[in-house]
Amino acid sequence: MTAEQLSSLQDAITLVYIEAGYLTSRAGTPQAESDGTVLVPVIEGSAVVTVNRIENEEGQDDIDVACPSSTVTSRNRANTRREADFEAYIRRQLQSAEEVPLNTSRLEEELRFLSNDNTRFEKVESVLGSRSDGVSELVICYEEANPLSVSINFSNNAPPSVGSERVDVALSLGNVLEIGDQFFISNQFDPSNFSATRGINAFGLGYRLPLDRRSSTLQFRVEANRNSILQEEFRPLELRAASELYEVSFRYPLQRSYREELGLSVGFAYQDGQTFVFNNIPQPFGIGPDENGVSRTSVISLGIDYLNRDSTGRWLSQAQCRFGLGIFDATSNPGSIPDGQFVSCLGLVQRVQRIGSRNFLIVQADIQLSPDSLLPSQQFTLGGGSSVRGYRENIRSADNGFRFSVENRFTLRQDENFEPVLQLAPFVDVGAVWNHPDNPNILPEETFLGSIGLGILWQPFPALDLGLYYAEPFVDVGDRTNNLQDEGFHFRVNYRL
């Protein structure tokens, strides 16, 4: 072989490695043997990993963690057991860093997942430098996340019958057992009727436990709701409702990469509710609950979700089927009267599309279909700030339904990181509901809703988000009130501590 042919062979072998993601591997100079055999040595890349912890020094808001190890080491504390656990976790997540040859494409993906682990890390960055021929030095610099997160949200996303405005307080405690787990506490209440027995009052507890490196998770959730009707015309009747929810769910990712993720989930939920008149006299409302106003469901759910990211946006799709079982004293009724034995399927598709640097489009469709008559807790609802805007929260509910929304967010102002600070958001919402033909509960005449409107979103500083939407309905409903939601206004104020 000529020298030119040998050089081409060397380049071709190197290109095979590069195209497969092994960017630090290369072919050496070919050597011709006396018998005519050509040997091409290959230098397969490897990495030496150094993990450094950075502490945010007092008075220093931001730390440049993408720095050589000599700069980082001067800020390190003594190597404690906690730091050793963090280092061991990082090394387990970066399995490709231990492999020879080093696949830098897989390593980059693992680093992205690591940096998105907000339960453990406030910030993770890395530097990959050359140490010697074929050997790279990978320096991982991390800042541990504050385990406590508190969010306070004030909005008018509650049904006017129980107060319209509500405050949501959510507390999250991360890495409780130092295994990436998370504990949640939430409370919802009506700020103008702050009482456990007036307006809306809901309390929730949750715990999520990671089970393996693939991010399989097991989650437990408990909720208790106590609502009372505040509308003037119904106040003399002292109407109220109480319910409890107990849920356990498991999710397993079949495919997990930064670009694509496909997961399966299974869960079980038990819900128990009761309604009262004159505060403590059991009374059913509608057809389905028993003579004491009690409705119970025991539901197995099977779900699948898919996420796909590309250079201009992302696709999200979810599907879930629910199977109501006749166990744990679930509500049972004859014929087509709504009860706890049912099947329903829900679907969601969402596209977020970036259009240029200052504009993105959000398109979403939701649907629920069921061959059975459903109890109110299992029905599809329309109306409110997170559904068809321009109508009050949960103005319509039925066994089946769909919603379609298009929102275009124009960025008027950006911060120094080119993140949106002030946005205008024109939108269109439509939706419809319908019951099973044999459901004895009668729906109001207007079952199709639609609106067009404009929103403004403002983030005056990173911890505070403000949003105000106004929607003009396409369809006028006969049971519209003078409430702010029925006038087409929806607002929210969110503050993160």
Could you tell me the pTM of the whole model?
Answer: 0.86
Q: Which of 172, 169, 114, 113 is nearest to 147 (CA)?
A: 172
| Stretch 1-25: mean pLDDT | 84
Asked whether 236 and 278 are in contact (CB, 8 A), the reply is: no
pLDDT at 92 over 60: yes
CATH 3.40.50.720 fits 45-144, yes or no: no
The helix (run of H) or strand (run of E) holding residue 12 is: helix 3-19
Q: How confident is the model at residue 47 (pLDDT cuts 50, 70, 90)?
A: confident
pLDDT at 194: 63
pLDDT value, residue 64: 47
281-296: average pLDDT: 94
Residue 187 contacts residue 255 (beta carbons within 8 Å): no
Q: What is the mean pLDDT of residues 27-42?
A: 81
Q: What is the pLDDT of residues 221-249, one digit of tens each?
A: 999 999 998 888 888 899 999 999 999 99
Mean pLDDT, the chain, rounded, equals: 89
Encode pLDDT of 322-374 as tens digits.
999 999 999 999 999 999 999 999 999 999 999 988 999 999 999 999 999 99
Tally the C-alpha atoms within 13 A of residue 144's C-alpha that lie toward its C-beta.
Answer: 20
**Per-residue model confidence as pLDDT tens digits over 138-196:** 888 888 888 999 999 999 999 988 888 999 999 999 988 888 899 999 999 988 776 65
Is the pLDDT reported for residue 71 higher than 80? no
**pLDDT at residue number 232:** 82
d(CA 136, CA 374): 61
d(CA 135, CA 158): 59
301: left (phi over 0), alpha (psi -120 to 50) or beta: beta
Query: What would the pLDDT profile of 434-486 be if each residue is shown by its tens digit?
Result: 999 999 999 998 999 999 999 999 999 999 999 999 999 999 988 777 889 99
Instruction: Give ranges for CATH 3.10.20.310 in the chain.
Output: 45-144
Model confidence at 41: pLDDT above 90: no
